[in-house]
Amino acid sequence: MIARARAALRRRPAVEGAPGTSAAPSGASDRPTAGTGCAVRLEDVHVRLGERDVLRGIDLELRERRVGIVGANGSGKSTLARLLNGLVVPTSGRVLVDGLDTRRDGAAVRRLVGFVFTDPDAQIVMPTVAEDVAYSLRRLPAAERDALVRAALAARGLADHADHPAHLLSGGQKQLLALTSVLAAGPRLVVADEPTTLLDLRNTRRFAAELAGLPQQVVLVSHDLSLLGAMDRVLVVDGGRVVADDAPGPAVEHYRRLVDEAP
């Protein structure tokens, strides 16, 4: 197995709980573990990677159902997103998800926070479509797991592909599979880092509709201004700082001004 797949296996949590009480998908929707989201707090967070101060002095509390993040390439968006599930831990300051410190309680945080990467190949870890979803449900008994896998795939139009090699799916189907596998683990918050960048317009719309319909809290990093328009709150990141934090209209306007004023 290649190193990247091994790393993806390590960071893919499994659904917890006894049969019948799991947070696994049921029928046409994926059921969050409990409640409607997480209380996420970033307290004076700094991230230094190598020689670079990537994030500086971030104080945030995220409670809205839909939070967007936008900003220039290299401004720190992905680093900020990765802080939320402990893929990156602060150099100083702390990140709390429902009171759990991402530095101390990384595994528990990753059960609460699912992460969708730009490139679905980075997180599809099993050979077939059904096996990939089943991996998130690996702690459940086989019979229950199989029924949940089939229901989850049917909900995303992937039922006919269940036994196909995952790498043969189209880009849009792979992204939907990645989302299905992430949701199968029952997260309460879904963080998606530019999940539509590799998709055509039709699949972008389809994926956006999927995200919009999720009961979970969503944090979406995107350069797609139309997707950001559907958020409750948008953060603009520039030079490692949050320079605007507002409703989508004024936040995107701030971002446009930054681009216009850039040398």
Ligand X SMILES: Nc1ncnc2c1ncn2[C@@H]1O[C@H](COP(=O)(O)OP(=O)(O)OP(=O)(O)O)[C@@H](O)[C@H]1O
How many beta carbons lie within 10 A of that of residue 209, not counting itself?
9
Smallest CA-to-CA distance from 247 within 226, 259, 231 is with 231
- Residue in 32, 37, 68, 76 binding ligand X, rule: CB under 6 A: 76
Q: Give the residue from 171, 231, 253, 246 showing the smallest Cα distance to 206.
A: 171
Q: Spell out the residues 6+ positions from residue 77 whose beta carbon is closer than 8 angstroms to its own.
A: 69, 70, 71, 193, 221, 237
- The stretch near ligand X (CB under 6 A) out of 20-28, 73-81, 126-134, 253-261 is 73-81
Which residues, 6+ apart, have CB-to-CB distance to 12 below 8 Å? 123, 125, 135, 136, 181, 185
Q: Which is nearer to Mg ion, 22 or 78 (CB)?
A: 78
Q: Which is nearer to ligand X, 49 or 142 (CB)?
A: 49
Q: How many other C-beta atoms are found inside a 10 Å radius of the C-beta of residue 163? A: 9
User: 240 to each of 76, 94, 243, how far by Cα in Å?
Assistant: 5, 16, 9
Q: Give the orientation angle of helix 129-136 with respect to helix 142-155, to 10 degrees.
A: 120
Size, binding site for Mg ion by CB under 5 A: 1
> 6 or 52: whose CB is closer to ligand X?
52
**Region binding ligand X by CB under 6 A among candidate stretches 14-22, 70-78, 90-98, 147-155:** 70-78
Instruction: Measure Cα distances from 29 to 113, 208, 216, 239 in Å.
Output: 18, 15, 11, 38
Residue nearest to ligand X (CB): 78
Which of these, 98, 93, 122, 117, lies nearest to 109 by C-alpha position?
A: 98
Continuous segment of H or E residues that includes residue 56? strand 52-62
Q: Which of 1, 18, 50, 209 binds ligand X (CB under 6 A)?
A: 50
Q: To the nearest whole angstrom, how small is the minimum distance from the Cβ of residue 30 to ligand X?
A: 26
Select 78 or 222, whichever has its Cβ closest to Mg ion: 78
Find the shortest distance in angstroms from Cβ 90 to Mg ion.
18
Q: Which is nearer to ligand X, 75 or 216 (CB)?
A: 75
- Residue 180 interacts, among Mg ion, ligand X, none and using kind-specific CB cut-offs from 5 to 8 Å, with none
Which residues inside 77-106 make contact with Mg ion, applying CB under 5 A? 78
> Which residue in 13, 22, 45, 75 binds ligand X (CB under 6 A)?
75
Q: Quick one: which segment of 1-9, 71-79, 168-176, 211-219 binds ligand X (CB under 6 A)?
A: 71-79
Interface residue with ligand X among 22, 78, 180, 181 (CB under 6 A) is 78
Q: Contact positions toward ligand X, by CB under 6 A?
A: 49-50, 52, 54, 71, 73-79
